[in-house]
């Protein structure tokens, strides 16, 4: 495959939406895999106690594996937990496991509780990567706030269904607060429409509403609903290696290419 342009500086992209099941993890894993397959060095930071991104990348994350919990709570250096994903060269993962479920509470009493991920990344040489993608849990708690403070860019996956826009106002308000007080460098750079069902008028309507509301930050590429995308994680793979010719893999590759060619926001 051809190489795509690589950013001059590491792009740290937070993938957030407090709604569950909208495709955050699927998007994190498959964009990361696509970018790595086109020559970029990529790190996925799994910030969800479910550890779904770790599972989908085929990375061990049982309770004894050093994980992002130890980084956030015990000050373990990131380099102690980052591992290579087995299938794709240049793709790495900072895994999460269920220990992280406690972190939401434990962080409350920590010093600089909103900035612990940022601090860990600053101490680690993140510039060795072209992209760091942070997969968030389905809430606007301290884990997601840490991801927003740690990122330069926010990517919001939006599922093309009736309630898609509900809750986005709350996410944007959180982003504005983080920008005002903790991370002025944060940009809502990308919106990706996911699980698009071309047979329904509703999906087309939602996609149009999102484009009218958010304009250019919405990628032209839309991710279709595809069984292959949902099967891949159970094989510990991204759909990019599980079934590279499937509609889902082609769409994620196209979306990743759009992001690479657009580059980081000004």
Judged by CB under 6 A, the chain residues 204 through 263 that form the site for ligand ADP are: 223, 225-226, 229-230, 248
Closest to 66 in 3D by CA, of 53, 52, 54, 58: 54
Sheet holding 131-135, edge to edge: 83-84, 91-94, 42-46, 131-135, 11-15, 153-159, 187-196, 218-224
Cα–Cα–Cα angle for 238, 241, 245, rounded to 5 degrees: 110
Binding ligand ADP by CB under 6 A: which of 10, 13, 16, 22?
22
What, of ligand ADP, Mg ion, none, does residue 248 touch, CB below 5 to 8 Å by kind? ligand ADP
Q: How many CA atoms lie within 13 A of 151 on its CB side?
A: 34
Stretch that binds ligand ADP, among 5-13, 22-30, 76-84, 204-212 (CB under 6 A): 22-30
For residue 24, the minimal CB distance to Mg ion (Å) is: 5
Selected from 12, 14, 23, 186, the binder of ligand ADP by CB under 6 A is 23
Q: Which is nearer to ligand ADP, 25 or 237 (CB)?
A: 25
Q: In whole angstroms, how close is the CB of 134 to Mg ion at the nearest point?
A: 12
Query: Which residue stretches of 135-246 are H helix?
Result: 142-150, 168-181, 201-214, 227-231, 239-242
Q: Taking a C-beta distance cutoff of 8 angstroms, is the pair 241, 88 a contact?
A: yes
Number of residues engaging Mg ion in binding (CB under 5 A): 4
Interacting partner of 90 out of ligand ADP, Mg ion, none (Cβ under 5 to 8 A depending on kind): none
20 binding partner (options ligand ADP, Mg ion, none; Cβ < 5 to 8 Å by kind): ligand ADP
Sign of CA dihedral 249, 48, 213, 167: positive
CB of 121 to Mg ion, least distance (A): 20
Instruction: Name the DSSP class of 90.
Output: T
Question: How far, in Å, CA of 45 to CA of 28, rounded?
Answer: 9
Q: Of residues 19-38, which lie at the interface with Mg ion (CB under 5 A)?
A: 24-25
Distance between CA atoms of residues 56 and 4, nearest Å: 24
* Binders in 74-133 for ligand ADP, by CB under 6 A: none
Q: Does 147 bind ligand ADP (CB under 6 A)?
A: no
Q: Which stretch binds ligand ADP (CB under 6 A): 20-28, 32-40, 119-127, 185-193?
A: 20-28
Nearer to ligand ADP, 124 or 153 (CB): 153
In the 8-state DSSP scheme, what is residue 168?
H
Return the closest-CA partner of residue 59 out of 31, 88, 39: 88
Footprint of ligand ADP on this chain (CB under 6 A)?
20-26, 52, 138, 194-195, 223, 225-226, 229-230, 248
């Amino acid at each position: 495959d051809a190489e795509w342009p690589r950013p001059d500086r590491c792009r740290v992209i937070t993938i957030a939406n407090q709604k569950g099941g909208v495709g955050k993890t699927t998007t994190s894993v498959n964009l990361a895999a696509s970018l790595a397959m086109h020559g970029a060095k990529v790190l996925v930071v799994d910030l969800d106690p479910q550890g779904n991104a770790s599972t989908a990348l085929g990375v061990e994350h049982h309770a004894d594996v050093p994980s992002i919990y130890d980084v956030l709570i015990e000050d373990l250096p990131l380099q102690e937990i980052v591992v290579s994903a087995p299938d794709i060269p240049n793709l790495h993962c900072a895994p999460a496991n269920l220990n992280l479920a406690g972190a939401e509470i434990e962080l409350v009493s920590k010093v600089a509780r909103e900035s612990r991920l940022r601090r860990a990344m600053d101490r680690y040489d993140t510039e060795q990567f072209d992209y760091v993608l942070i997969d968030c849990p389905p809430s606007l708690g301290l884990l997601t706030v840490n991801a927003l403070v740690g990122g330069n860019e926010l990517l919001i996956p939006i599922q093309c269904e009736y309630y898609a826009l509900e809750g986005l106002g709350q996410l944007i308000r959180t982003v504005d607060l983080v920008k005002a007080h903790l991370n002025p460098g944060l940009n809502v750079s990308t919106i990706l429409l996911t699980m698009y069902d071309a047979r329904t008028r509703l999906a087309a309507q939602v996609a149009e509403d999102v484009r009218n509301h958010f304009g250019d930050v919405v990628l032209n590429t839309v991710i279709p609903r595809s069984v292959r995308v949902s099967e891949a994680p159970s094989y510990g793979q991204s759909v990019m290696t599980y079934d590279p010719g499937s509609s889902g893999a082609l769409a994620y590759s196209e979306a990743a290419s759009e992001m690479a060619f657009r580059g980081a926001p000004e």
